[in-house]
Structure formats: C-alpha cells, structure tokens
A and B are shown apart, each in its own frame.
Chain A
C-alpha cells in the first residue's frame, strides 16, 4: 500500500492503518530498535509503542514521508528505552556512541541544547548533502539506523574495510565542520 493511503487510514482512524504500517515497515522498525537495544522483546515493545505514537500524532500531523516519520519516532522511543536499560547492560548503541566521540573535540565547551538545535540540523544535513549518495547512505545507515558495518557492507556490496574507511573519513569531516561552526 502507498504511504499516502496508509496516512489516510490514520486520518480516518481506521485500525487497518496500524496493520498496514506493520506490513510495510514493521521489519524495518524492529531492526532499528533491535540494533540499539540488542533485545527482541524490547525491540518489539518499541515498535508497538511507535505505532501507538503514530496513531496519537495523526491526524494532527500529516507526514509527507511516512518511513522517516515512523523511524524517527521508533528511534526516539528506542533511545529512551536504551537509557532506561543502560545501567543494567550495554546495548549496541554504545559502540555507535564510541565512534561518534571522534566528532567531539577534546576541549570543547558545553553544548547549548535549544538555540543551536536548528544550526546543528542545518550543519548535519548540509554535510550529508555534500556527500555522494553512496557515502550519505552509509552514514545514515550507520548513525541513524545503527546498522552493523557487516550488514551495510552486505547490502551495499562494498567491503567492510572500505565502509570503515568511509565512516572514519566522514566522522573527521563532520568533526571539522562542527568545530568550524562552533557547535561542539
């Protein structure tokens, strides 16, 4: 079913909306949550919470891109879940966070959360916009979808070594950009 039709179902308050969402995006959302939480039960719970959040968000919102809309909700819920679980065990997100410390200058000052949010968004999206499609997809798969390097390599038919090199260079470029913009 087309995204537009699924959104229409949400707007009509049809329970079929959730069923169709699950058919089309359930697997993707589960994978995203599972990469962060490393737990099947928790991932399933996050996906269900995502459906509930989407149900509650519409009809006020009418997302143009349903996939990204759902993924962002799912990711946010999963990160919250991760925070909750974090004291008990290490999840897959730890590794991603470790990698992203490359983007953080060692002597930088505090991040102001509010005013610079938009600038951060512009900078990240500007950075991604300057990348080739292939590099951008690798970056988003790794740092938004939290996909393992081996899986990205397999999906994109690029060697793991090349993926690692690409990611390392992109992290350094992003660091350079964030420093230049005074965001971190």
Chain B
C-alpha cells in the first residue's frame, strides 16, 4: 500500500472520530472572549481617540473662550481692578525717586505698578520663581493697536540684578532698564496667564 493509499485510508477512517467531537465542531462558535477581546481593543482605541478629540476641542474651546470671554481689554480691566484693590492696602511711593530708593538697593525682586491717575507707585516683593514666571509670561501679550487701550496702570518687574522690565513692552534692549523705571505707552496687552499670575501673587 502506497503512502497515498494509506492517506486515503486514514481520511476515510476519520469517521472513527468520536460523535462528541463531530458535534462540537459542527456547533462550534468562536468564544465571545476572543470577539470581546477584539471589541474591547477597538473600544479602548475609540475611547482614547475620543478623549484626544475632546481634549483638543476642549483646549480650542477654552482658548477661544479666553480670547472671547476675557478679551485683551477685559484682561487689562481685570488687572486694573486687581491693582485698585491691592493698592488700597499698600503704602504708596509718592514719586519715582522714592520708589527707586526703596526697591533698587535691597537685592530683591519686586513687582511694581503705578497708577497713571495718581502718579503713585506701589510694589510687592516676589520670590525667584514668581519673578521667573512673570518674566516668562511677559513677552506673550498681544500687540496693542489702539492708543485708547493704554490703561490706568503701568507695570514693571524689577529683578534681583537691578534690571527692570515691563510686561507691557516688547522684549528689546531698549525696553530693559537698569536701576530706574520709565513711563511708557503699552505695546502689549497683558496675557490672560500673566493676569492669573498677578492674581495669585497679589492675593
């Protein structure tokens, strides 16, 4: 008997397979676990994708919302309101000279603001991380195009090394002072993040 004949014989003898196994194969359905596993992978993937989409939409919404709901002008007014409130509890420096004599020689960082209306200066000491945060947010305000948006306060950050930078001015050599503060016309509106930082420092 050749191999082929034996194979034919074996093929025919497959009828010796137990009835239970024949029934099992006829009625077999893939386990739901396999399908569920695949389905769960697909669902998990879809969930992650949805999360990313939601986060993306959310960030877009909040960014737009912050732009629309709290416009540059509103931020400025909010910052002004902050300064109004805080100024009441601070002893003002009545002149630039008085301010400079107080803050320039102490080797500390200061947040300085001045009321345009009264010409008085105010300051609070800030730590290195607050200084770093404010400076980091200083150059990101949107440019001011209308002179009417000049606002009622001027703001500076005095660093430990004596340099003075205003967050309302573009970052350039001419806008970084040393040992003094200068009156200026704002070039940038304060960013939302900067105002939030101000709030956390002042309160």
Contact = CB atoms under 8 A, between A and B. Distances in A.
Contact of B15 (A75, A97, A100, A184): A75
Contacts of A137: 24-25, 28
Contact of B30 (A69, A93, A117, A157): A157
A77 B28 CA distance: 24
Interface residues of A, number: 43
B4 interface: yes
Contacts of A140: 17, 21-22, 24-25
Interface in A50-105: 63-65, 67-69, 71-72, 75-76, 79, 93, 96-101, 103-104
Interface string B23-36: 11111101000110
Contact of B28 (A98, A103, A144, A156): A156
Contacts of A68: 19-20, 22-23, 26
B21 A28 contact: no
B35 A157 contact: yes
Residue of B1, B4, B25, B28 most packed against chain A (CB within 10 A): B25
B35 A144 contact: no
A111 to B, nearest CB: 6
Contacts of B25: 136-137, 140-141, 144-145
A121 B9 CA distance: 13
A152 to B, nearest CB: 10
Given A96-B11, A136-B24, A157-B34, A101 B17 contact: no
B88 interface: no
A125 B17 contact: yes
B68 interface: no
Residue of A93, A97, A157, A184 most packed against chain B (CB within 10 A): A97
B6 A111 contact: yes
A172 interface: no
B1 to A, nearest CB: 5
Contacts of B20: 65, 68
B24 A72 contact: no
A144 B24 contact: no
5 contacts: A71-B26, A75-B14, A125-B18, A140-B21, A155-B30
- Nearest first, the 6 closest Cβ-Cβ pairs linking A and B are A68-B19, A140-B25, A68-B22, A121-B16, A100-B7, A65-B19
Interface of A: 28, 63-65, 67-69, 71-72, 75-76, 79, 93, 96-101, 103-104, 106, 108, 110-111, 117, 120-121, 124-125, 128, 133, 136-137, 140-141, 143-145, 155-157, 184
